[in-house]
Amino acid sequence: MTSSRAAVCDGVDFPRTIRLVSLRCDYKHACLIISEDWRPDAIVFDCDGLLMDTEACWTVAETALFARHGLPFGLEDKASLIGRSIPVAAAVMAQRFGRQGEAAAIQTEITALAASEIAAHAEAMPGAHRLLKLLAGRLPLGVASNATRALLDAALARGKFGEAFRVCIAAEEVAAPKPAPDIYLEACRRLAVEPARALAFEDSPTGARSALAAGLKVVGIPTLPTADFPADLVVASLDDARLLERVGRWF
């Protein structure tokens, strides 16, 4: 791990913003499955890697933990962890480290490392504040995250999102985390909207599958390269011109 706060996976630098859009994924010509005249009654956002660039912080923490075990941290490792709840990710790492039965201890280690990085370095993703300003007071907004309540609150506070969200749900507050649909179903219940009338924003396939299983439409903004992200619309960032133009037509 370097002093520049960059993590390295398979020789690829992960800077503070790890919006790794592969050259094989041409989001300029994304498929618009959502009809032009459709307008959501509520929007639910993921947090890590979507509103906040905490995935870079998690990558630094994960790289450090892998290094403690004498292992490199590669893109395949990142793909196996991204979007998962912390207990599930810890179990994956326990298997990788040959520490079966020690997932709880690994969860404590990775949470402490990530919390330190998030508190010091997490930043709002490009376009996040602009999009929320455009939506403020016009649609009910929520957050549904696989992070713990403590980490979710810390990330949103660090991003200065204030009172932007009517509903904010963490992983431990539902029976099953993403990719199960529980957290999105609960968000829609609290927002008093039918899932079919709600829109989710997600950066990971795990989160996108959760929202789709709950019946929401999904805008995908992939953190890691993928040619088949499971979403109704895939764009490169929250400040994508086509995305903002479509949102603007809702009002």
pLDDT of residue 162: 85
Q: Report pLDDT digits (tens) over 91-102.
A: 999 999 999 999
Query: Which of residues 121, 141, 174 is at a domain's end?
Result: 121
* Cα 138 to the center of its chain, rounded Å: 23
33 band by pLDDT with thresholds 50, 70 and 90: low
Quote the CA–CA distance of 234 and 246 in Å, as a whole number.
13
Judge if 67 and 34 occupy the same domain: no
Judge if 114 and 164 occupy the same domain: no
What's the token pair of residue 129?
């504040």
The answer, yes or no, to whether residue 22 has pLDDT greater than 50, is no
Instruction: Considering only the C-alpha atoms of the chain, give the largest distance between any 2 of them, rounded to a whole number of Å.
Output: 54
pLDDT of residue 20: 37
Residue 134 CB contacts under 8 Å (≥ 6 apart), including other chains? 244, 247, 248
CA-to-CA dists, residue 221 to 4, 56, 60, 100, angstroms: 26, 15, 21, 34
Per the prediction, the chain carries an average pLDDT of 88
Q: Which helix (H) or strand (E) holds 183?
A: helix 182-191
* Cα 29 to the center of its chain, rounded Å: 23
Q: Report pLDDT digits (tens) over 189-215.
A: 999 999 999 999 999 999 999 999 999
Mean pLDDT of 10-23: 39
pLDDT of residue 3: 34
The answer, yes or no, to whether residue 23 has pLDDT greater than 90, is no
Query: Which of residues 121, 150, 169 is at a domain's end?
Result: 121
Quote the CA–CA distance of 90 and 146 in Å, as a whole number.
13
pTM given for the model = 0.81
In this structure, are residues 23 and 16 in contact, taking their beta carbons and an 8 Å threshold? no
Q: How many CB atoms lie within 10 A of CB 197?
A: 16
Judge if 43 and 139 occupy the same domain: yes
Which residue range forms the structural domain that includes residue 193? Answer: 18-53+123-248
Share of the chain above pLDDT 70, in %: 87
